[in-house]
Chain A
Amino acid sequence: MDEIRILSPGGSLGYGVNAESLERAMAMGIDVIGADSGSTDMGPWYLGAGRPYHSRATMKRDIRLLLRAGREHRIPVLIGTGGGAGANVHVEWARTIIEEIAREDGLRFKLAVIRSEQGKEYLLERLNAGKVEPMPGVPPLAPEHIEACERIVAQMGMEPFIRALDEGADVVLAGRACDSAIFAAYAVRAGCDPGLALHMGKILECGAMSAVPPTGRDCLVAVIKDESFEVLAPNPAREVTPFSAAAHMVYEVEHPFLQGEPTGLLDFSKVIFEPTGRGSTRIRGTLFHEHSPTLRFEGAERVGFRSFVLGGIRDPFLIQKIDEYTEGCTEQTMDIAGRDTGATITWILYGRDGVMGDMEPERDGPVHELGVLAEVLAQSQDVAHDVAALLEARMIGFPYSGAKTRTAHVAFPFSPLVNDTGPVYRFSVLHVAELRDPADLVSLFPIEYRTVAA
């Protein structure tokens, strides 16, 4: 088997690809470009609301860099988790950007669009069959959560990418995808060991996070051949050491050496990291314990609508009485709004325990200024807004004990004082389902091909 060179432009497409590193990498000879473009990291709102995560202008810049490089060198470009969350609306968003670039730049290529949004029936049937397990820390799934989800996606593995490459796609735009699959698919199709290739994908998925100095905003290259792969940073300001590569493998995961993939469990416990002496690291020894195919499903359920009021407190007498004040404001507001509104008010007090909440060990330390974020959740935006407006009126004048001010208790930075942020979502579905049929690894992800031309 010939060696295969795979390029990752960074941790997430749309954050701003380092064009100079990309050019350096392309000059080394690259066989395939993979790019991760989404995650669940930024929370459930993007999946629930059907909105893209990244800036459109930056996404267009980044995709343009990749498409030009790919077309110039006649190599495939694979993009996973298009639009940030990978539902149909996100994939469409990314597709229009790709087609716009093709028109503007006079590019011509075969585009494969792989969808990952799922109907509810499949997951419901798997749940009823007892074939659904929660991810660690996630509550068990009930049918009503599936029903309540705004959108559900399944996270595809390598198989749909391989199918698209089989069909001659030059550019693959996929919905929700395993990061590792984006980078492993081309190599596995060429005959590489799946475990080794998926491990390589795990290293590549965050770009130069595996290098020193680490950053997700720079390129990384892997060269895979036979029993091992080499990881290198095209940017001469970085190198990949055995420790930097190994340390990255624990990043954003619960287990340091066991990680689930759709068709098996990656096991890094016997992996060997060797320095090459030229600023890169060679990796071998990955184990892959195959199991019957599974897919991870992700679904966002709307829990209500939010409005908030933001202010600052510098009055030392109010800071002393802050609990009396927040409780009093909440109570008066709910007395007037009526408990039957179903609204919930929460307070975040920056400067005291705003970041850590109940986990804060230094909650009782000295404070000279507090940032106050009062949030209201209700079942409609109108109700949330009304309750937040009432709350703001209490915040400005609540007569806490020992007050030296008659009113004007809070410094509000904004007019409008009440800000409506729209729906709030929860990842109610974050569960792994055993598949009915191994063929579902492909069939749940319909692929559409089109020739894109100027």
Chain B
Amino acid sequence: MNERAELIDLVQFLFSKNAGPYLITFDAIFGDDASYERVRDSGVLTKERIAGLFRIPVERVLSLYEYPAGRVIKFTIIRDISSGDFGDRSVFGSQLWAPLIHLEIPPAA
């Protein structure tokens, strides 16, 4: 736990999915408490950081939640084009999580 890690090293699942036609929600699901707590306590995932990673205004990051019962950290962004409208690129909101892969997580305190 004392070495640097990337988010991908600590998660069990990491993906994006539509939450209705106007939102895309990102779930990081952890397989053990230590990994979940390390990422949560690192404070690395903030609305501002998410906006930066996805090159969107912070107002488009609707919410960011921790859910210990499921060892989940999730955030939701507002689409610029709703699902299936002209110009949309991902009807299911899929495949948008790659910018999170290399997110650096500092060693646990």
Whether both chains belong to one complex is answered with yes
Q: A351 interface residue, CB < 8 Å from B?
A: no
> In the complex, what's the smallest C-beta–C-beta distance from A386 to chain B, in angstroms?
17
Q: B25 interface residue, CB < 8 Å from A?
A: yes
B85 and A424 within 8 A (CB):
yes
Quick one: given A254-B25, A425-B84, are A42 and B71 in contact (CB under 8 Å)? Answer: no
Q: A348 interface residue, CB < 8 Å from B?
A: yes
The answer for the CA separation of A304 and B84 in the assembled complex, in Å, is 12
A40 and B20 within 8 A (CB):
yes
The answer for the CA separation of A256 and B88 in the assembled complex, in Å, is 26
B2-10, B39-47, B59-67 - the one binding chain A: B59-67
> In the complex, what's the smallest C-beta–C-beta distance from A231 to chain B, in angstroms?
14
Q: Which of B83, B89, B91 sits near A357, CB closer than 8 Å?
A: B89
Q: A45 interface residue, CB < 8 Å from B?
A: yes
A253 and B19 within 8 A (CB):
yes
Quick one: given A136-B22, A247-B29, are A41 and B92 in contact (CB under 8 Å)? Answer: yes
Quick one: given A44-B84, A355-B96, A357-B89, are A252 and B18 in contact (CB under 8 Å)? Answer: yes
> In the complex, what's the smallest C-beta–C-beta distance from A173 to chain B, in angstroms?
24
A306 and B86 within 8 A (CB):
yes
Contact residues on B (Cβ < 8 Å of other chain), bracket: 35 or more
A43 and B70 within 8 A (CB):
no
Residues of chain A within 8 A (CB-CB) of B54 are: 359
B79 and A354 within 8 A (CB):
no
The answer for the CA separation of A356 and B54 in the assembled complex, in Å, is 9
- The residue on B at minimum CB distance from A244 is B70
A346 and B87 within 8 A (CB):
yes
Q: A93 interface residue, CB < 8 Å from B?
A: no
Q: A426 interface residue, CB < 8 Å from B?
A: yes
The answer for the CA separation of A254 and B87 in the assembled complex, in Å, is 23
Contact residues on A (Cβ < 8 Å of other chain), bracket: 35 or more
A137 and B78 within 8 A (CB):
yes
Q: A165 interface residue, CB < 8 Å from B?
A: no
Residues of chain B within 8 A (CB-CB) of A43 are: 21, 83-84, 88, 91
Q: B72 interface residue, CB < 8 Å from A?
A: yes
Q: Which of A43, A135, A360 has the most CB of B within 10 A?
A: A43
Q: Which of B53, B62, B71, B98 sits near A137, CB closer than 8 Å?
A: B62
A426 and B84 within 8 A (CB):
yes
Told that A44-B85, A246-B72, A354-B89 touch, could you supply 19 new A-B pairs with CB distance under 8 A?
A: A44-B84, A135-B22, A136-B23, A137-B20, A243-B69, A250-B70, A252-B18, A252-B25, A253-B19, A254-B23, A256-B65, A304-B86, A348-B89, A355-B96, A356-B89, A358-B56, A359-B55, A377-B86, A427-B21
Give B9-46 interface residues, CB cut-off 8 Å to A.
Answer: 13, 17-23, 25, 27, 29
A246 and B69 within 8 A (CB):
yes
B90 and A355 within 8 A (CB):
yes
Q: A303 interface residue, CB < 8 Å from B?
A: yes
B95 and A355 within 8 A (CB):
yes
Q: Which of A242, A253, A361 sits near B25, CB closer than 8 Å?
A: A253
B69 and A273 within 8 A (CB):
yes
Residues of chain B within 8 A (CB-CB) of A306 are: 86
Q: Which of B20, B55, B87 has the most CB of A within 10 A?
A: B20
